[in-house]
Amino acid sequence: MAVLKKFRPRWWLSGRQSESADAHANIALVPPINARYDVRPLTVSQIDECWRLDQRCFVDGEAYSRDTFEYLLTAPESVSYRAVMQNSAMAGFVIGLLEPDHTGHITTIGIAPEHRRRRLASCLMETIESGFQRRDVRIVRLEVRASNVSAQKLYTSLGYSITQRLPKYYSNGGDGLLMIKSL
């Protein structure tokens, strides 16, 4: 996920969100293995549901603030999607921006813990890449925490390559990796 410094939450590093995230994660029911999902555009109408889900996905103090979501989902250059269950509840989301240099920037992706390893992230990544492609984007970039091996495996499996290490990119001093894919 990208660090958007301007929109850091007020309760940055307070630890409160990690506790509530764990509490929510523990009570969520695991859906049946044959559960069906749809992919739909993500708009500012879903801001609160998306913000809550983000806090369950990023329990490392890097969850975005509501202001950040408002910025990301109302920006004209936003290219964002959600995966939903049959009852329309959100199981995952991906948010991207068209950058002025005509690259696509995936700022964040999250799948609810109980919906993971069902290829939802792969599906959302492919959908956002198609969305970018329709807007004449040829290069997609994203940042990922150097210690986030599962996300790196996801991106590598989709054809992304590490092009740069970003020392102390994250607020707790953790390094980031810049990953790029040509569409």
Binding site for ligand COA (CB under 6 A): 1, 57-58, 109-111, 116-122, 144, 148, 150-151, 153-154, 157
How is residue 21 written in tokens? 């995230």
CB of 98 to ligand COA, least distance (A): 19
Return d(Cα 55, Cα 70) in angstroms, integer: 15
Shorter beta-carbon distance to ligand COA: residue 136 or 153: 153
Residue number with CB closer to ligand COA (43 or 122): 122
User: CA 4, CA 7: separation in Å to the nearest integer?
Assistant: 6
- Among residues 95 and 98, whose Cβ is nearest to ligand COA? 95
- Other C-beta atoms lying within 10 Å of the C-beta of residue 114: 14
Query: Which residue, 15 or 76, has its beta carbon nearer to ligand COA?
Result: 15
* Shortest spacing between CB 124 and ligand COA, in angstroms: 8
Kindly state the smallest distance separating residue 59's Cβ from ligand COA, in Å. Answer: 8
CB of 154 to ligand COA, least distance (A): 3
In sequence order, what are the residues at sequence separation of 6 or more whose Cβ sits closer than 8 angstroms to the Cβ of residue 107?
1, 2, 4, 72, 95, 96, 97, 142
Nearer to ligand COA, 45 or 157 (CB): 157
Minimum distance between the CB of residue 16 and ligand COA, rounded to whole angstroms? 19
Strand-pairing partners, residue 111, are 92
Q: Which is nearer to ligand COA, 42 or 144 (CB)?
A: 144
Q: How far is the CB of 92 from ligand COA (least distance, A)?
A: 6
